[in-house]
Amino acid sequence: MKKPLQARIASFSAAKEARQKGIYPYFRPIESAQDTEVIINGKKVLMFGSNSYLGLTNHPYIKESAQKALKKYGSGCAGSRFLNGTLDLHLELENKIAVFTGKEAALIFSTGFQVNLGVMSSLTSRNDYLILDEYDHASIYDGTRLSFSRIIKYAHNDMADLQRRLNSLPEESVKIIAVDGIFSMEGDIAKLPEIVTIAEKFGATIMVDDAHSLGVIGTMGAGTASHFNLVNQVDIITGTFSKSLASLGGFVASDSETIDYLKHHARSLIFSASMTPASTASALAALEIMETEPEHMQQLWSNTRYAMHLLKEEGFDTGHTESPIIPIYVRDNEKTFIITSLLQQEGVFVNPVVSPAVPSDSSLLRFSLMATHTFSQIEEAVTKLSKVFKQVGIVEAKEPIK
């Protein structure tokens, strides 16, 4: 007899069923560096599922900086920032991030997920309000759950809905509107100018998660607030080093008082070990590259425009993307898995996004560009996408997907 918990776990069948059908798409082991071409099962596969938008994970200067830090500081910090785990290198990265984002101060955490957990959970408490876009990242949602505050969700990028919901809240209450700068699956940009106007009217604080915007939009890739020229109007910026910045870790940037408050209240910072020396040095080096080599961001956009042109020409439904994250809608969970698996056999890696991450009628392939892709790699990927979509009977030649 299984114990109740083990019985419940055994009844989880989605992954087993997908494995039996040979279409299980997760935890695919990559046998090489994260680049535009990776090795899976000994075979070359074009990578169109990476978050390394600037393609910097193999940049010689970044690798060399990581090696130097490893040599000087060792492999780990053996403690939290709060106690024995703060290095001078951490402070250097915080200062650099503050300048880069245009904020007074910054605080770095070991992952971007932990940043949102720490920030969302520690700034508000009972009787306060956290107002979230329905498509905000899971880490923002999980942080709000730890806060004991009231959570208000508004329809994705729907400013009338945001305004309506704020209208019904007590005037003097503490409110934070938290949004992804670039939405991680849909690729569209938060309507920050409208959010700023609404937030000012209702006295709400604004937090923007720039995980996918850094290195992608704004001056030198400084993110969404910079993109809209609203750095002073956005109160809190969070971000990660795990995407464009070719490392691991994350940050929050804000005014000095908020950062000092977070240093003493964010439990995911205080009770967790600090970023490794190598990760810290990599993030620092990546920031330097972003400032001195703007060609990476230019190339990323040139690749994005080219891919969008080809995908539109082939009739794919790409939603409302405005960034290198291109959703290709399939609108059927199983077909999304089948296409992902057929594409890998064809030598193209994309990420399947199915319910509950998105509603099942919005399941999609998340196709993302890197600065280091060549036009011929993009052409090959789109040709193979067309072939597989036709094979699965989703798209007729030159017809948009319904």
323 in contact with ligand PMP (CB under 6 A): no
Tell me: does residue 237 bind ligand PMP (CB under 6 A).
Answer: no
Residue 133 binds ligand PMP (CB under 6 A) = no
Is 243 known to be catalytic?
yes
Is 113 a binding residue for ligand PMP by CB under 6 A? The answer is yes
In contact, 273 and 83? CB cutoff 8 Å: no
Contact (Cβ atoms closer than 8 angstroms) between residue 269 and residue 81 = yes
Instruction: Pick between residue 139 and residue 303 the one whose CB is nearest to ligand PMP.
Output: 139
Rg (CA), the chain: 22
Closest to 77 measured CA to CA, from 89, 68, 66: 89
In this chain, which stretch among 108-116, 253-261, 273-281, 282-290 interacts with ligand PMP, using CB under 6 A? 108-116
The tally of CA atoms less than 13 A away on the side-chain side of residue 253 is: 27
Place of tokens 């039996």: 20
Tokens representing 100 are 């880069």
User: Which are the contacts of 33, defined by CB distance < 8 A and separation ≥ 6?
Assistant: 57, 58
> Taking CB under 6 A as the rule, does residue 111 contact ligand PMP?
yes
**Residue among 163, 164, 172, 178 nearest 131 (CA):** 178
Count of residues in contact with ligand PMP, rule CB under 6 A: 14
Q: Is 90 a catalytic residue?
A: no
Establish if 211 lies at the interface with ligand PMP (CB under 6 A): yes
In angstroms, what is the minimal distance from the CB of 279 to ligand PMP? 10
Active-site residue, selected from the candidate residues 243, 296, 373, 384 = 243
Give min distance, CB of 348 to ligand PMP, in A: 21
By CB under 6 A, tell whether 282 contacts ligand PMP. Answer: no
Secondary-structure percent of the chain, ordered helix, strand, coil, rounded to 5: 45, 15, 40
Which of 49, 55, 112, 143 touches ligand PMP (CB under 6 A)? 112
Shortest spacing between CB 17 and ligand PMP, in angstroms: 26
122 noted as active-site residue: no
- Cross-sheet strand order for the sheet of 129-133: 105-109, 250-254, 236-240, 205-209, 175-180, 129-133, 150-154
Give the interface segment with ligand PMP, choosing from 204-212, 223-231, 293-301, 374-382 (CB under 6 A).
204-212
Q: List the catalytic residues.
A: 184, 212, 243
Q: Binding residues for ligand PMP, per CB under 6 A?
A: 111-113, 116, 137, 139, 180, 184, 209, 211-212, 240, 242, 250
